[in-house]
Structure 1
Amino acid sequence: MQFAPVATLPVRLLDRGRAVWPGALVCAAIAAIATGIGALAPLLGSAIPAVVLGVAVACIRRPGPRLAPGVGYAGKFVLQCAVVLLGAQLSLASIAAVGLESLPVMLVSLAVCLLAAWALGRALGVDRDIRTLIGVGTGICGASAIAAIAPVIKARSADISYAVSTVFLFNVLAVLAFPAVGHALGMSPRAFGLFAGTAVNDTSSVVAAASVYSASALGFAVVVKLVRTLMIIPISVGLAVVEARRDGEGGRMTPARLVRLVPWFLIGFLVVATIRSSGALPDGAVAAATQLSVFLVAMALAGIGMSTDLRAIRAAGFRPLLLGGALSLLVAATTLATMALTGRLG
């Protein structure tokens, strides 16, 4: 298992602290501003403002030797720590309660999304990493999934920025369109909660869409959304195996080798989720961990934004945006179709 980043953290902080803190402090300041923006505009959240502000800073002046180490640290290790803390939002009891009602719909929509991301992305000529990030961001949980997958596939900062921005755009459109779709189809609050929790990927957008529809739809939608977060684990492990083979580390996949491929921060994610489920974490600690994870994601995305190569984004063109739109429509349509076939649409 890849525990080296945690095991060597004290030594690395002592050895590199002087080099890291200036850039990390700038990223934290940007994250604080983005958090304030997110508090004023909950639908916007803090992730997009953090990326945008980071890119704006990079446009004015790209990080030099003094800031670059800390900016890179924020974009990688801080990002991994944020993923660990995301586990505090999950309760295994809630997952069991959701059970068969949501899992078939969720798994079908996820499978269709990932297959379409691969096939349509290739047809459009979208870079492999961008289509992977947009696919998992659309199919699982937006910026959080992108944050978890990016270090596994060693994605570039430009690809991460593009993917986060693309997924966010269609989140906003879903918040505006989904309540109207739900009312047109005569969905019950529970049915709409399943629809929104499965087909809208970012937590804040799920909350916004469900709240607009009805207060009673909100609780179920959030639980479904958090269950979707669990899909980060198998997808990340699968991608880690694929990356190992692409890097020339092919061969028979033994259990021991598979365990070594699991990123350390995903193990941490599961551990935190298990502790949360045991009831050992008081509500205040869960709330604090959730808020801290949101801040660390903003801090990491600020670093990613500051590291972004705008020329690479311009070179990518409009095709990734087209891919994101197609996947969002496909996930919504697949969710509705599966709900209808399983008798959960009413």
Structure 2
Amino acid sequence: MELLHGKPERERKVLLAVKLLAGIAFTFFIAFIAFFIAKLPGLDHVGQLGIGILIAVLYRQFFGYPQFLRLGIEFSSKKLLRLAIILYGLKLNIHTVLSEGLTLLARDAIVITFSILFMIWLAKRFKADKNISLLLGIGTGVCGAAAIAAIAPIIKSEDDDTAISVGIIALVGTIFAIGYTLIEPVLPLSHVDYGIWSGMSLHELAHVALAAAQGGEDALAFGLLAKLGRVFLLVPLSFLFMYIMKRKSSKEENNDAKVQFPFFLLGFIVMSIIHTYILGNIITVPEAVMDSVPVFTAWCLSAAMIGLGLNVNLKDLQSKALKPLLAMIITSICLAVLSYFLI
């Protein structure tokens, strides 16, 4: 009898393992395709992340959601997403931000506050989807897809809303970054100030690098410093949203709405501390290993966002995303103007 019961149980575990690995492989396969498409002229500025989400959305519309692969796809969209956020902490040098960028940090706080509150206000005026608008405000103010991915589980965002928000951030941020490089020659700014402006106002770290590089090495260095200040503020912002959600939950007296502690943020903080004070000071890591970590992080984030993208329905996208997109474009323009005068 044990053999009869054991065999189906083993077969079930094997089937679950196959579904898990196949689903993960599927998200990485789309990321692999997106990686090469992003190398094509004209598409290199869009990036692997944006193209990967687009492929995932189109796949869902033409072929439907691959139910057999659901377990692995959900693993990518949740577990790999948290791993990417943790590893993202290795980009942040706390000492540099605190010792050399305190004034930038204050201005970054203004940028984040303005982006979120102005997006919320516009969303009410346009009667836009509140959840997507909030995520876009966070992504615009802080650090694009990484910020959206970090805050989304705290505010209990639906997967399709998160994917839509990341897709919009990738698209609009790329357009703005290219626009910055075109107008840089006519701006009455020094190269350093141009870099700071880019770091204070553009969406993704990659967008800042793309735009600030136009002004040279000093512009790029200060642009990344300004941007890292915004990344640094992701931590207190996350805890602020935790507090808000807990208060909202207690007022509604809804036991199902309990806010789970985002332990991956502790990983983010730990990685930041390791990068700042341990690597190179106490422990020496081969340069090849350190260079491979951002690459691995980018692939994990791409696979995770592709997993989210497979949940997007284009019919919902048309009804939910157009007004938040318009609000975000207006917010991004106003943020660029505000940042310009904050320099």
Give the corresponding residue for 1:285.
289
Give the corresponding residue for 1:296.
300
Q: In structure 2, do the counterparts of structure 1 residues 14 and 84 end up closer, same or farther at CA, with 3 Å as the change threshold?
A: farther
- Mapped to 2, the partners of 1:46 and 1:332 lie a distance apart of 25
Aligned residues: 320
Do 1:106 and 1:198's aligned partners in 2 also have CA atoms closer than 8 Å? Answer: yes
Do 2:101 and 2:225's aligned partners in 1 also have CA atoms closer than 8 Å? Answer: no
What amino acid sits opposite 1:215 in the alignment? E
Give the corresponding residue for 1:32.
32
Give deviations 1:288-346, integer Å, cap 9, x for gaps: 2211111011001111111212222122152111111011012111111222xxxxxxx
Deviating more after overlay: 307-316 vs 111-120: 307-316
Deviating more after overlay: 208-217 vs 105-114: 208-217
SS at match of 1:67: helix
Q: In structure 2, do the counterparts of structure 1 residues 233 and 250 end up closer, same or farther at CA, with 3 Å as the change threshold?
A: farther
Please state how far the C-alpha of 1:78 moved relative to its aligned partner: 1.1
Deviating more after overlay: 21-30 vs 167-176: 167-176
- Mapped to 1, the partners of 2:152 and 2:117 lie a distance apart of 19
What amino acid sits opposite 1:172 in the alignment? T
Q: In structure 2, do the counterparts of structure 1 residues 64 and 181 end up closer, same or farther at CA, with 3 Å as the change threshold?
A: closer
SS at match of 1:244: helix
Give the corresponding residue for 1:254.
none
Please state how far the C-alpha of 1:180 moved relative to its aligned partner: 4.9
- Mapped to 1, the partners of 2:100 and 2:33 lie a distance apart of 36
SS at match of 2:334: helix
Q: In structure 2, do the counterparts of structure 1 residues 85 and 38 end up closer, same or farther at CA, with 3 Å as the change threshold?
A: farther
Greater relative contact order (Cα 8 A, min sep 6): structure 1 or 2? 1
- Mapped to 2, the partners of 1:201 and 1:314 lie a distance apart of 23
Give the corresponding residue for 2:330.
326
Give deviations 1:85-118, integer Å, cap 9, x for gaps: 1011111222134323412221111111111011
Structure 1 residue ranges without an equivalent (≥5): 1-12, 252-257, 340-346
SS at match of 2:38: helix
Aligned to 1:149, which of 148, 151, 159?
A: 151
1:268 equivalent in alignment to 2:270? no
- Mapped to 1, the partners of 2:15 and 2:151 lie a distance apart of 28
Aligned to 1:158, which of 141, 160, 164?
A: 160
- Mapped to 1, the partners of 2:322 and 2:224 lie a distance apart of 32
Alignment of 1:194-205 (within 5 A): 194-205=196-207
Give deviations 1:24-74, integer Å, cap 9, x for gaps: 110111112222333455422211011011112112222343111211221
Q: In structure 2, do the counterparts of structure 1 residues 92 and 285 end up closer, same or farther at CA, with 3 Å as the change threshold?
A: farther
- Mapped to 2, the partners of 1:172 and 1:103 lie a distance apart of 24
Do 1:206 and 1:222's aligned partners in 2 also have CA atoms closer than 8 Å? Answer: yes
Deviating more after overlay: 325-334 vs 149-158: 149-158
Please state how far the C-alpha of 1:261 moved relative to its aligned partner: 5.1
Deviating more after overlay: 50-59 vs 242-251: 242-251
The sequence identity of aligned pairs, in percent, is: 24
Do 1:82 and 1:294's aligned partners in 2 also have CA atoms closer than 8 Å? Answer: yes
The TM-score normalised by the length of structure 1 is: 0.85
